[in-house]
Structure 1
Amino acid sequence: MNYILFAVPFFFLLIGIELLADRWRGMQTYRLSDALNSLSAGVLSTTSGLLTKGLGVVTYAIAWQHLAVFELSSASLWVWVFAFVFYDFCYYWNHRLGHERNVLWAAHSVHHQSEDYNLSTALRQTSTGFIFGWIFYLPMAVAGVPPVVFLTVAALNLLYQFWVHTRHIPKLGWFEWVFITPSNHRVHHAQNAVYMDRNYGGVFILWDRLFGTFQEELDEEPVVFGVTVPLVSWNPLWANLQVYAHLWNDARRAGSLRDKLRIWFMRTGWRPDDVAQRYPMEKPDLAAFRKFDVPLGRARQWYAGLQFGTYVLIGTWLLGVGEHWRLLPLTIGWAWMAFGLYAIGCWLENRPWALRVEVLRLVLNLPAVAGLALVGGIALPQWAGWALAVYTLLSFIGLLGLRRAERQPQAA
């Protein structure tokens, strides 16, 4: 059962409730561009997952079939409890090393790039974590945890983490000693020196207390959210590639072959001496920290929001039906989604070429559907093509309306 698919409506319902709480309490934990960027990364992650999740599932199943030491039954309650706790232990080390090693941070950094902290941040997930993430859960297969149990507890672990991404819930007393809470997870998303690289658990904070990585949220040290090398973009593709690109450039510039290779697996932030001297990387002063933002008119914000809403609907549909598709149609669907989210990012950044990219996105809508049907062999409902045609036409009308409205003040 795809628990994440069924949870999507509740995610957006809770985001709506948090927005109401913002208004009621006079807080501002959301900015449209930042939230759309986080949600775009999430949509891209789930779409990419349809292409890549087979790696983790297949390797786990093979390890379970050939390396399992014990025969654990999915019919036993204690196996489920054991697996739930064991998964969080493995998650702790996956998460911790995701902060401590360059190549793993390249994947995980996406989740930390938001300079706001709200429920949309929870959905800001990586599209490249599949490369190494599966390795950390193989001990569960060796212990004999059946794949169906593993997949279920993995989904439950992820679902639990959603609610802790909020600034509206204070410390929760004794609960803070055992479980991950909004307070101790706010610490995890901070770029303050005192908070850096702390509180890695997914459900249980006990691992952090046991292995010396726990840090309490301090009243005298307000959390500053984000990463020390800011993304400075609303582009979800660049969000996933930023750290890889920095590592590649450093590896390419390094004079030593040894440095070219080891930079990927050194501690996060490590750079070869010769590269660091020739290409120093300045980090912003936290005392003068300012969130990245691009001024955007209200009409353009509405347009971006409505376009993104369409991608949420289509992405949710893909998540529901794509599991049964072959690789070719999945690739076509992923490319269509990725380019569309890129176009929305260009729009939010008010790039000079954003309008041209947006027009190209709309022009490619019908060819993308035709590709799914003709090349990918997907039997789409008869109304799908007509619905996409109407959506594309309305979008063009909206673009023309925006252009006309923006020219009127100049003519006056």
Structure 2
Amino acid sequence: MNYVLYAVPFFFLLIGLELLADRWRKVSTYRLADAINSLSAGVLSTTVGLLTKVVGLLTYTFAWQHWGVFELSAQNLWVWLFAFVFYDFCYYWNHRLGHERNVLWAAHSVHHQSEEYNLSTALRQTSTGWIFGWVFYLPMALVGVPPLVFLTVAALNLLYQFWVHTRHIPKLGWFEWVFISPSNHRVHHAQNAVYMDRNYGGVFIVWDRLFGTFQEELDEEPVVFGVTTPLASWNPLWANLQFYVVLWRDAVLAESWWDKLRIWFMRTGWRPADVAAKYPQSKADLSQFVKFHVPLRPAQQLYAGLQFVLYVAAGSFLLATGANQSVAVLLGSCAWMAFGLYVLGLWLENRPQALGLEVLRLLLNAPALWLAEQAGLLPISTLGWSLLGLYSLASALALVLVARRGSAALPA
């Protein structure tokens, strides 16, 4: 059972309730562009995951079949409880090293780039974490945890983490001695020096207390969310590539071949001495911190939000049907999704090329739908093509209106 797929409606229901809580408490924890950027990263991650999750599953199953020390039965409740706790222990070390090693941080940093903290941030996930992430869960296979149990507890662990991404729930007393809570996870998303690299557990905070990485949220130190190397973009593709590019540039600039290699596996933030001396990087003063923002007219924001609904629907559909599709279909779906989300990111950044690329995106939807029909991904009827035509016409008209208003708003 795909627990994440069935949870999607509840995710959006809870996001809606959080927005109502914002209004009731007269606070603002959401910005449209930031939320779309976070959700775009999540949609892209689940789509790419349809192709890449096989890496982790195959290696796990192979290790379980050939090297498993014990034969644990999925019929035993204690096996499930053991696996649930053991998974979180493995997750703790995966998460911790994801903050402590450059190449792992390059993948995980996507989740931390938002300068807001709300339930949409929980869905902001990496598309490259699969490269190394599977290694950390092999101990479960060696102990003999069946793949079905592993996949289920992994999904439950992920689902648990959704609700802790909110500013509306205060400290929870004794609960926080054992479990991850919104308060101690807010600490984890902070860029304040006192909070950085703390509270790594997914469900249980006890690992942090045992291994010295726990930090309580302090009343005298308000959390500043985000990363110390700001993304400064609404582009989900750049979000996934940003820190890899930072590492690559430093590796190219380094004179030593040893430094070019080891920079990827050194502690996060480590740079070759010659590069750091020649190209120093200064850290922002948090007292002067300003969130990334691109001014957009309400019409531009509304257009982007309505267009983004298409990708949420498509991502959910692929999540439901992707397991039965060929690699070619999934590759095409990933390309279509990535290009569309990239264009919407440029739109939200108000880039000069955004209008032309948006026209191209709309024009490409028809051949993309035809290819999906030919591949058997979508059984398109006459009604389906009619709906596409209406969608394209409405989008084109809205685009013209938005462009005209933008031109009219320019000074003479």
TM-score by length of 2: 0.98
Determine if the alignment matches structure 1 residue 381 to structure 2 residue 353. Answer: no
- For 2:168 and 2:316, how far apart are their aligned partners in 1? 28
**1:191 alignment counterpart:** 191
**1:366 alignment counterpart:** 366
Deviation of the 1:277 alpha carbon: 1.4
Aligned amino acid, residue 20 of structure 2: L
Q: How does 1:272-283 map to 2 (within 5 A)?
A: 272-283=272-283
Residue pair 2:99, 2:105 contacting (<8 A) in 1 also: yes
Residue aligned with 2:295, SS: coil
**2:201 alignment counterpart:** 201
Determine if the alignment matches structure 1 residue 399 to structure 2 residue 411. Answer: no
**1:158 alignment counterpart:** 158
**1:325 alignment counterpart:** 325
Residue aligned with 1:141, SS: helix
Residue pair 2:164, 2:182 contacting (<8 A) in 1 also: yes
- For 2:409 and 2:292, how far apart are their aligned partners in 1? 28
Deviation of the 1:409 alpha carbon: 4.6
**1:354 alignment counterpart:** 354
Residue aligned with 1:323, SS: helix
Residue pair 1:39, 1:124 contacting (<8 A) in 2 also: yes
**1:60 alignment counterpart:** 60
Deviation of the 1:242 alpha carbon: 0.1
**1:70 alignment counterpart:** 70
Residue pair 2:373, 2:380 contacting (<8 A) in 1 also: no
Closer, same or farther in 2 for the Cα pair 1:75/1:275, shift >3 Å?
A: same
Closer, same or farther in 2 for the Cα pair 1:267/1:409, shift >3 Å?
A: closer
Q: How does 1:5-404 map to 2 (within 5 A)?
A: 5-374=5-374, 376-382=375-381, 383-404=383-404
- For 2:56 and 2:64, how far apart are their aligned partners in 1? 12
- For 2:38 and 2:248, how far apart are their aligned partners in 1? 25
Name the count of aligned residue pairs: 411
Aligned amino acid, residue 120 of structure 1: S
CA offsets, 1:238-277, max 9 Å, x none? 0000000010111111101100100000000000011111
- For 1:114 and 1:302, how far apart are their aligned partners in 2? 21
- For 1:85 and 1:257, how far apart are their aligned partners in 2? 42
Residue aligned with 1:152, SS: helix
CA offsets, 1:132-172, max 9 Å, x none? 00000000000100000000000000000000000000000
Please give the root-mean-square deviation of Cα atoms over the aligned residues, in Å: 1.2
Closer, same or farther in 2 for the Cα pair 1:333/1:100, shift >3 Å?
A: same
Residue aligned with 1:179, SS: coil
Closer, same or farther in 2 for the Cα pair 1:135/1:384, shift >3 Å?
A: farther
- For 1:195 and 1:409, how far apart are their aligned partners in 2? 44
Deviation of the 1:281 alpha carbon: 1.8
Deviation of the 1:406 alpha carbon: 2.8
- For 2:118 and 2:22, how far apart are their aligned partners in 1? 10
Identity of matched residues, %: 72
- For 1:203 and 1:315, how far apart are their aligned partners in 2? 26
Aligned amino acid, residue 127 of structure 1: S
Aligned amino acid, residue 394 of structure 1: A
Aligned amino acid, residue 240 of structure 1: N
- For 1:390 and 1:134, how far apart are their aligned partners in 2? 44
Residue pair 1:329, 1:377 contacting (<8 A) in 2 also: no
CA offsets, 1:327-358, max 9 Å, x none? 10101111101110001100000001110111
Aligned amino acid, residue 277 of structure 1: A
- For 1:294 and 1:409, how far apart are their aligned partners in 2? 16
Aligned amino acid, residue 75 of structure 1: Q
Residue aligned with 1:162, SS: coil
- For 1:252 and 1:380, how far apart are their aligned partners in 2? 49
- For 1:245 and 1:410, how far apart are their aligned partners in 2? 36
- For 1:389 and 1:274, how far apart are their aligned partners in 2? 58
Residue aligned with 2:42, SS: helix
- For 2:351 and 2:410, how far apart are their aligned partners in 1? 20
Deviation of the 1:385 alpha carbon: 3.5
Deviation of the 1:283 alpha carbon: 2.1
Deviation of the 1:280 alpha carbon: 1.6
Aligned amino acid, residue 68 of structure 2: A
Deviation of the 1:367 alpha carbon: 1.3
Aligned amino acid, residue 66 of structure 1: H
Closer, same or farther in 2 for the Cα pair 1:300/1:314, shift >3 Å?
A: same
Residue pair 2:263, 2:271 contacting (<8 A) in 1 also: yes
Deviation of the 1:310 alpha carbon: 1.2
Select between 300-309 and 389-398 the one with higher mean Cα deviation. Answer: 389-398
TM-score by length of 1: 0.98
